[in-house]
């Protein structure tokens, strides 16, 4: 079986995707935002004006959990990294409990732009998603 060798940046970004999903499943807003987003990040989601900064992004995810968000998985099919900037492009599946015991999963696509921070870790500076028709 062939082995795929990933460069360090791609591996780090894949691990970040996994931590994002794990934080959502744990419903840990602080961990989610601190691990994934840069302090000056912007989140762009349909139906909302741009959400700027970690505090506003925390509020967005807090409300999302209150409204039934239970899972959010990203499947990145393209990573590009050069110097201190990187991007990830892929699809997502977001599952919410719309009523007790009733789950709904929607699918869409996303693009995330990352910047390597002073501590060497990648963090999202722009996270934009759109649902699939």
Average pLDDT over residues 93-121: 93
Q: Is the pLDDT at 1 greater than 60, yes or no?
A: no
Residue with token string 């062939």:
2
Q: What is the per-residue pLDDT for 4?
A: 42
Q: Give the model's confidence band at 6: pLDDT under 50 very low, under 70 low, under 90 confident, else very high.
A: low
pLDDT greater than 60 at residue 11 = yes
Residues whose CB is less than 8 angstroms from the CB of residue 118 and which lie 6 or more positions away in sequence, other chains included:
none
Mean pLDDT of 13-23: 91
Q: Is the pLDDT of residue 3 over 50?
A: no
pLDDT at 130 over 80: yes
**pLDDT mean across residues, the chain:** 91
Calpha distance 16→109 (Å, rounded): 17
> What pLDDT is recorded for position 5?
40
| Domain over 8-131 is classified CATH 3.10.450.50 | yes
Q: Are 12 and 122 in contact (CB under 8 A)?
A: yes
Domain limits, the chain? 8-131
């Amino acid at each position: 079986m062939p082995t795929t060798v990933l460069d360090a940046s791609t591996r780090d970004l894949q691990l970040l995707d996994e931590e994002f999903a794990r934080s959502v499943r744990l419903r840990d807003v602080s961990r989610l935002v601190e691990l994934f987003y840069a302090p000056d990040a912007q989140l762009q989601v349909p139906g909302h004006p741009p959400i700027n900064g970690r505090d506003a992004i925390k509020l967005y995810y807090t409300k999302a959990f209150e409204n039934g968000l239970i899972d959010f998985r990203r499947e990145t099919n393209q990573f590009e990294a050069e110097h201190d900037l990187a991007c990830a492009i892929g699809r997502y599946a977001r599952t919410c409990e719309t009523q007790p015991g009733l789950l709904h999963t929607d699918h869409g696509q996303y693009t995330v732009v990352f910047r390597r921070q002073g501590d060497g870790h990648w963090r999202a500076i722009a996270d934009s998603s759109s649902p699939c028709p």
